[in-house]
Structure 1
């Protein structure tokens, strides 16, 4: 009986140690990856200018609403959005709960957080697809999708957005 209690006690400590390690790695991974440049996107500064550049390429402007520390945001950036940006797709990032200034589509100064509230975004990551006049031209992608389906759903939204231009 004493050996069973010792084994149970040891098992609990191994489980706690494992959970602690996983928790620490999840907390530090976004910071390390974002600072490494591999999973970064340009931060939105002037939506009218960024939209104009996208429309010149006959593309919708993709705006990723992110949250600092969001593991699913990091995955979307690393797996899909950063490579697309590097390939020339117009993408910017707006950070929920961030007071960084940005010009909205009307040319009015606001903050990233105010934009996310204005757009009624409550889940990260959320991708929005904007066309002329700052109007959404495709269905939003809200939250995490299964990794195997994220790319096809994203491509579908881009097709929708391009057709609406």
Structure 2
């Protein structure tokens, strides 16, 4: 006889259910808030794009730092919303990077640098900064190849709108501010009502 846990895991694996956040964000040894569902990666970004594409997803890089109040708000408020986290989990693999970290990251152009040096190379000056990577890896640096970039923390409906903008490839048709104005009100209602979106 199958247990409820086995049935739930099977349904999640088959994509029949979209889980909400597993639990509240926790702090890691570097003092960064982390989500259990974010991708643990070897930080070879071309490989990460290929692996995500095989699952029908895109890659997002989230630069954060210890003590960043906006990073904490992103984890404790934005990602605590089952509507927001459910949408992101369905369409994206998120990789966290430390603005002052020492892990080696291999850029799309093949260059490998510690996180802190990669942040300088890509022009990261504030946290959180999110890079939405292209659906297919090319040979340009992330700074030039990214489909979109979010500098700083946007309000929850606008934050979610950015993820939809990228997932729908709306950047091929227009600029984000116009897209956000068109969708923010509906997304705010969905978040408030707890209604999942596609």
Name the TM tier (shorter chain).
0.5 to 0.7
The count of aligned residue pairs is: 132
Which has the larger Rg? 1
SS of residue paired to 1:74? helix
Matches within 5 A, 1:16-55: 33-35=26-28, 39-40=35-36, 41-44=38-41, 45-55=43-53
Structure 1 residues 72, 106: CA separation in 2 closer, same or farther (over 3 Å shift)? same
1:129/1:136 contact within 8 Å kept: no
Point out the more displaced range, 89-98 or 54-63: 54-63
* Structure 2 residue 159 is matched with structure 1 residue 150: yes
Matches within 5 A, 1:53-64: 53-64=51-62
Structure 1 residues 89, 97: CA separation in 2 closer, same or farther (over 3 Å shift)? same
Structure 1 residues 149, 86: CA separation in 2 closer, same or farther (over 3 Å shift)? closer
Structure 1 residues 58, 39: CA separation in 2 closer, same or farther (over 3 Å shift)? closer
For 1:88 and 1:154, the matched residues in 2 are separated by 9
Render the CA deviation track for 1:19-46: whole Å, top value 9, x for unaligned: xxxxxxxxxxxxx8224x8635335522
Structure 1 residues 62, 116: CA separation in 2 closer, same or farther (over 3 Å shift)? same
TM-score w.r.t. structure 1 length?
0.63
Larger fraction in helix:
1
For 1:162 and 1:49, the matched residues in 2 are separated by 23
Matches within 5 A, 1:41-120: 41-44=38-41, 45-78=43-76, 79-80=78-79, 83=86, 86-87=89-90, 89-120=92-123
Shift of 1:160: 2.6
For 1:138 and 1:108, the matched residues in 2 are separated by 20
Stretches of structure 2 that go unaligned for 5 or more consecutive residues are: 1-24, 174-198
For 1:62 and 1:145, the matched residues in 2 are separated by 16
TM-score w.r.t. structure 2 length?
0.54
Q: CA RMSD in A?
A: 3.0
For 1:141 and 1:126, the matched residues in 2 are separated by 6
> What residue number does 1:121 align with?
124
* Equivalent residue for 1:130, pick from 129, 133, 136: 133
